[in-house]
């Protein structure tokens, strides 16, 4: 049975969004998704729902994945952020990872997306467990 995955997709190409959703379904997920194309619609989507993962194109009209990352960091959102791009080079990818991206996947290698998401979901779960344990320890002291 497919696993429900709440996905926020930052993408200006309907075809690329479709291929991303199709890859998630092929990888065993049942994607419940919303696609946004602007920083303001990203901000609103973050208000409406808690997302399991955010998948972002790097270059969109009016902003880049770096600006999306800044918005997410200001909101103290701990959702895995994966860049899926057809144009990002190695230097930009390293810069994105240093800025807080969880991973990057080339659009020409979408087969890497599902393993990346599975790894990042596991790491996010581990971070939540650790924060809960730290919180419980502080309460007990």
CATH classification of the domain holding 131 = 3.40.50.2300
The Cα–Cα gap between 92 and 88 comes to 6
Q: Are 7 and 55 in contact (CB under 8 A)?
A: yes
- Which residues span the domain enclosing 129? 3-140
pTM reported for the whole predicted model = 0.87
In total, how many domains does the chain have? Answer: 1
Dist. CA 130–CA 52, nearest whole Å = 18
Contact 8, 55 (CB under 8 A): yes
* Percent of the chain surpassing pLDDT 90: 72
Give per-residue pLDDT as tens, 74-100.
998 889 999 999 888 889 888 999 999
Query: In 52-132, where do the E strands start and end?
Result: 53-56, 59-60, 63-64, 81-85, 103-106
């Amino acid at each position: 049975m497919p696993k429900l995955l709440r996905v926020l997709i930052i993408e200006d190409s309907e075809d690329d969004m479709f291929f991303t959703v199709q890859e998630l379904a092929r990888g065993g997920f049942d994607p419940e998704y919303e696609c946004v194309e602007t920083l303001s619609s990203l901000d609103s989507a973050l208000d409406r729902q808690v997302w399991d993962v955010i998948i972002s194109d790097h270059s969109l009209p009016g902003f880049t994945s770096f600006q999306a990352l800044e918005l997410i960091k200001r909101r103290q959102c701990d959702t895995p952020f994966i860049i899926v791009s057809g144009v990002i080079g190695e230097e930009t990818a390293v810069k994105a990872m240093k800025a807080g991206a969880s991973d990057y996947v080339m659009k020409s290698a979408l087969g890497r997306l599902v393993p990346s998401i599975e790894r990042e979901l596991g790491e996010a779960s581990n971070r939540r467990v650790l924060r809960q344990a730290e919180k419980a320890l502080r309460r007990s002291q």
